[in-house]
Structure 1
């Protein structure tokens, strides 16, 4: 099998925790040929979606961990699977890449996650489709609506719809201090829509990342626990990751969403759950494979490649 990874530059990987790296290692162990390219390597030329793609050789070294062949200009349909693993920001360039990938699908490429499904599932807004599992939530750019929401709930979280890694997240308590300034900043003076949620105090026990693979639930979550007075548990914001078994509520949420999202073309999904509440549905490049594997011995990458094999065979 030949697998092409659409990803950020390999030189930027932190191999001790990178989930894409874990996928590559597992695929390589199974004897599959692995390749890499970036969004800037893609083109639509003479009606075909092609890319300058290099084969990856894993060295086993923790620092100098890969070798790349000279890139070849190849159609994406030449591969058994194309894995979309480019991190956000989910900007127009990201969207353009999904359009090219969708054209490549029409030409025979197998792309995971499906590009149309990635576009259709904003990682913040998608929770509205499963409101039975969410805390009170407001999506708006209107200052008066936000102020009314704060007046009702007293302690709130405000965040952009296109952020990642905890960037741009603010907590406003009952005194309302700096609420106006935060609204102006996040909405860019009323020109951008944001999300506002009631603060969930269980964040002190962690923002749990629950992985769904091939319509099934990984049996462990990674609770990302805020440190040093932070409100954000994201690992990129300094949170500590602790792998743990899923609670009954975690399972209820995950088992409800897993088959539905898989049917929509999402092979890999990362749910974020705080307390009993679903807070995000991550579909671009979900992570936390290695932390769960290292702490619990469960081979998440193995489960992923198993699911990929099944999807390709179907």
Structure 2
């Protein structure tokens, strides 16, 4: 099969932990042809199909540094591939949004895109949890300074976060003393111009912010607990958290088995649920990670499970 990965520049990959690389490696092991491009390479012109301009057909070298070799470069119509995998990392900004529309046009032309572009737009990673209130901690979404202050007064210990952050960027904790609450609100809501999410602090973060992967509607049996280090409140690996793989809990499974089939039916082949304690905090759909960390620590082959599901989805869509 011919697979096109729409991703960040290949040269930026840290192959020892990169999930997209692990997908490519498993796909190559099965004999699939690998192509790659950046969202900026997507082009549509009236009378033609959505095309990846200058897409690169690559083979994997097995070298940790120079890990790929370009076999050819060509303008590749997305409809001429067997599958397009949208793996551009967040943030979900205007350019990401525009790329999903180009990918949606490619779908109309016959391309098979995973995750489905419309589903990417419909599931902003922090706000998607609102559909499942039975699994989340007390949560507020607002621009209002007064509403945030009232929420803090009720819950005393809260987390504030921007809706467009990634990797733990822009997350603040405010305890019972309310120290710096006003300044933090001003920083995040920009005088009421931007919406903020506020959640009751979940103390189980000390045991880790768990990434629970769901592939084709089915939970991976192991998660990665990203444990804050030192004085940090953030477990994100990008913020210095330590990743420890462990079996998913009964609560993790309950959340995953509820959300997974719904997400799969909407065209989300791969979802990363973030769970702290018993509480769902995010539903990641743009470019979920942690394949390699879980596989390396447990021996469970997450990339194999994913490519199995991808192959089945391609055949089902044929």
Aligned to 1:21: 21
SS of residue in 1 equivalent to 2:305: helix
Q: Is 1:167 the equivalent of 2:184?
A: no
Aligned to 1:248: 250
Return the offset for 1:118. 0.3
Aligned to 2:221: 219
| Runs (4+) off by over 3 Å | none
Return the offset for 1:69. 3.4
Return the offset for 1:173. 0.4
Aligned to 1:125: 127
Q: How does 1:30-49 map to 2 (within 5 A)?
A: 30-47=30-47, 48-49=49-50
Aligned to 2:105: 103
TM (norm. structure 1) is: 0.99
Query: Deviations for 1:221-274, whole angstroms, at most 9, x for unmatched residues?
Result: 000000011000000000000000011111111111111110011000000000
Q: Is the 8 A contact 2:222 2:294 kept in 1?
A: yes
Supply the distance in 2 between the matched residues of 1:168 and 1:150 (Cα, whole angstroms).
18
Greater shift, 50-59 or 26-35, is seen at: 50-59
Q: How does 1:277-296 map to 2 (within 5 A)?
A: 277-296=279-298
Aligned to 1:113: 115
Return the offset for 1:71. 2.2
Q: Is the 8 A contact 2:58 2:72 kept in 1?
A: no
- Output the aligned Cα RMSD: 0.6
Return the offset for 1:193. 0.3
SS of residue in 1 equivalent to 2:57: strand
Aligned to 2:65: 63
Supply the distance in 1 between the matched residues of 2:92 and 2:73 (Cα, whole angstroms).
26
Return the offset for 1:188. 1.0
Supply the distance in 1 between the matched residues of 2:238 and 2:70 (Cα, whole angstroms).
28
Aligned to 2:51: 50
Greater shift, 69-78 or 84-93, is seen at: 69-78
Supply the distance in 1 between the matched residues of 2:186 and 2:200 (Cα, whole angstroms).
19
Aligned pair partner of 1:267 in 245, 257, 269:
269
TM (norm. structure 2) is: 0.98
Supply the distance in 2 between the matched residues of 1:177 and 1:51 (Cα, whole angstroms).
50
Aligned to 1:76: 78
Q: How does 1:296-311 map to 2 (within 5 A)?
A: 296-311=298-313
In structure 2, the gaps of 5 or more residues are none
